[in-house]
Chain A
Amino acid sequence: MTAPPEEIAAKEALPFAAAPAAGAEAAVRVPRVGRIAYRELAIAAVIAVALVLPWVVTSFVMFQLTQVMIYGLAILGLNLLTGFNGQFSLGHSAFYGIGAYTAAILMHNYGVGYIWTLPAAGGVCFIVGFLFGLPALRLQNLYLALATFTLATVMPQILKFHGLEEWTGGVQGLVVDQPDPPAFLPVDSDQWLYYFTLAVVLVMFAAAANLIHSRSGRAVMAIRDHPIAAAAMGINNSLYKTLTFGVSALYTGVAGALGALAVAFVAPDSFTIFLSIALLVGLVVGGVGSIPGCLLGGLFVLYVPNIAESVSTGLAGAIYGVILLLVIFLMPSGMAGFARAVWARLSRMRQI
């Protein structure tokens, strides 16, 4: 075995690569005949709980859970790009903002129905993401981080820009009507928002899982793991990288549109670099390269700052930082990676 040089080269080739297990394990899924399909059971259980929750928790908690799902969806968008394709982004707050503003402008200025704002937001973000993916092809790692960071810094300034105030409402932002539940359903508008978000999120998560397990998904992961080898296998690196950028932006944009509906308000300062950083934290804490991990990341992004705040108002930031450090120390590859390691150990014990 002549491992060392290859190993070093491989390490250099995937500086932002995730825990290697995620894609590889998923790609060679063996049908489990005669064994219990734990994964499917777990998904069914989570969906069942999610369906029942609005009837047992307060409407504030329900609103928070809606937010968790929205963040989870935005993190999934970032994950498709960073976790599965190895491109780093600090610019996803911009895509989230574009999605939110597309929805808000369509509803506020043109009276478009809220359901139609989601495909519109997704479409606009796909185009912007795809176009941004073109220059991003030339940049790597930290240089790409700076380019995407630029996007995140520029976006709030453009939204505030006085020449566009007619559409964007400038610094004031735009107020959006909260969607009304359809008359035939016995739910109030908060519950409807929750169920609507849940439905969108479920469809988009399922689509992402399918995408990752498809031929295209394997190509995307191959580019992350070794771009040169991927090219040698006949994968069109540039096309897949730009497409991934577009799809990633689409996911985050739809999340932004849902966010605009949930909060019923958009303003430039909600979409700063800090949102990008929050999404990045959610991605890493949830698990880079893990699809269910995105929702865990969403939980962290929404709840941990609140927990820190409740411990001490003055030192909230410090407590948040300490919690974050603890998570990184205990679970260096995120909650999903941790769960995977525990699971692997358990099944090894069972075999013995």
Chain B
Amino acid sequence: MELLLQQVMAGLANGAIYACMALAVVMIFQAIDHLNFAQGEMAMFSTFIAWQLIEWGQPYWVAFAVTVLVSFVAGILIDRVLFRPIRNAPVLSQVVAFIALFSILNSSAGQIWNYTIKSFPTPFGHKPLFGISLMDTHEAGMIGVTLAMLGLLYLFFRGTRLGLAMRAAAANPESARLVGIRVSWMTALGWGMAAAIGAVAGMLIAPVVFLEPNMMLGVLLYGFAGAVLGGLTSPAGAVLGGFAVGVIENLAGTFIPYFGRELKLSIALILIVVVLMFRPSGMFGRRVVSRV
């Protein structure tokens, strides 16, 4: 029983990382209707900017705020410069453009900051939470920040005119344009927000996985899996999906004898596919219905 509890808590702590990323993934999916394969690398690049600012002697929260702001602007720029010109290209061409962006960011970060592993500070510290060794304060802080971001996003999308306009632009660009919404700017804004959320995720994840150009690779994959499991149309679902992936993976590694430990990632992914068999749009996703 204690082992189970321990593994679930450890799974939740890992899951918080995936949930952060899944939230950023869903955010951009809402804005542009695709998965952004370069999302993880954008987050990694932002985290390096924060690290550089801290190295130059800035306090943590200044670096944090500046990084989020820079990432927001960079996200908008990426959309306006790179993706607006190919908006009418076939979907697969756009996917390949994401792969190109991935490659560029990864390689440039390696060139600028090299591939040695760097440690990244955390504002929450690494003490055991409530004196129990099940979870440390940083992990708890990470879960807290993820849930807070989710709450803010919910308020933004449900409660503000701009949020409504963004949802309209994503759901039906033609009609949204007819009622006077500037659809292409809404998309750019979605990119900016996704980049900013990604930056926060990166800065929260870096103290756990350490900072280096390839740090996001695994995390992004889990983040995608979490987002798809939860449903790409549902931010709350994505966060839950991220936690679920973390817990499933940990439990499979501990409790399935013989091949559990070696194949825990495989088991987690196969379980997700099985879930998708029964809920093809994710656990909390809306079924997209198209008119014929």
Instruction: Decide: A277 and B99 in contact? CB cutoff 8 A.
Output: yes
One of B51-59, B143-151, B187-195, B263-271 at the interface: B263-271
Given contacts A146-B276, A324-B100, contact A9 B89 (CB under 8 A): no
Give Cα A284–Cα B262 distance, bound, in whole angstroms.
Answer: 35
A143 CB, nearest partner CB in chain B, Å: 6
Instruction: Decide: A329 and B86 in contact? CB cutoff 8 A.
Output: yes
Q: Tell me, yes or no, whether A189 is within 8 Å of chain B by CB.
A: no
A147 CB, nearest partner CB in chain B, Å: 5
- How many positions in chain B have a CB within 8 Å of any CB in the partner chain? 50
One of B15-23, B90-98, B125-133, B248-256 at the interface: B90-98
Give Cα A232–Cα B290 distance, bound, in whole angstroms.
Answer: 17
Instruction: Decide: A147 and B92 in contact? CB cutoff 8 A.
Output: no
One of A37-45, A179-187, A311-319 at the interface: A311-319
One of B3-11, B107-115, B200-208 at the interface: B107-115
Tell me the A162-184 residues at the B interface (CB within 8 Å): 162-163
Q: Tell me, yes or no, whether B120 is within 8 Å of chain A by CB.
A: no
Instruction: Decide: A153 and B266 in contact? CB cutoff 8 A.
Output: yes
One of B42-50, B62-70, B163-171, B220-228 at the interface: B220-228
Residues of B within 8 A of A113 (CB): none
Tell me the A132-149 residues at the B interface (CB within 8 Å): 135, 138-140, 142-143, 145-147, 149
Given contacts A138-B280, A324-B96, contact A163 B90 (CB under 8 A): no
Give Cα A82–Cα B259 distance, bound, in whole angstroms.
Answer: 34
Instruction: Decide: B93 and A284 in contact? CB cutoff 8 A.
Output: yes
Interface string of B222-263 (1 = CB under 8 A from A): 001100100010000000000000000000000000110011
Given contacts A18-B90, A328-B86, contact A318 B107 (CB under 8 A): yes
Residues of B within 8 A of A17 (CB): 90
Instruction: Decide: B291 and A143 in contact? CB cutoff 8 A.
Output: no
Q: Tell me, yes or no, whether B85 is within 8 Å of chain A by CB.
A: yes
A241 CB, nearest partner CB in chain B, Å: 14
Residues of A within 8 A of B272 (CB): 146, 150
Residue of A nearest to B273 (CB): A147
Instruction: Decide: A314 and B103 in contact? CB cutoff 8 A.
Output: no
Residues of B within 8 A of A343 (CB): none
Instruction: Decide: B92 and A284 in contact? CB cutoff 8 A.
Output: yes
Residues of A within 8 A of B103 (CB): 317-318, 320-321, 324
Instruction: Decide: A157 and B266 in contact? CB cutoff 8 A.
Output: yes
Instruction: Decide: B95 and A284 in contact? CB cutoff 8 A.
Output: yes
Residues of A within 8 A of B221 (CB): 149, 153
Residues of A within 8 A of B108 (CB): 315, 318
Instruction: Decide: A143 and B228 in contact? CB cutoff 8 A.
Output: yes
Instruction: Decide: A82 and B280 in contact? CB cutoff 8 A.
Output: no
Give Cα A146–Cα B86 distance, bound, in whole angstroms.
Answer: 24
The 4 closest A-B pairs by CB, nearest first: A317-B107, A321-B104, A332-B89, A321-B103
Binding site for A on B (CB under 8 A): 34-35, 82, 85-86, 88-97, 99-104, 106-108, 110-111, 174, 221, 224-225, 228, 232, 258-259, 262-263, 265-266, 269-270, 272-273, 276-277, 280-282, 290-292
6 contacts between A and B (CB under 8 A): A17-B90, A82-B92, A280-B99, A320-B107, A325-B100, A328-B89
A-B contacts besides A135-B273, A153-B266, A318-B104, 12 pairs, CB < 8 Å: A9-B291, A12-B291, A15-B91, A16-B92, A18-B90, A138-B276, A147-B276, A153-B221, A283-B92, A314-B111, A318-B111, A334-B93
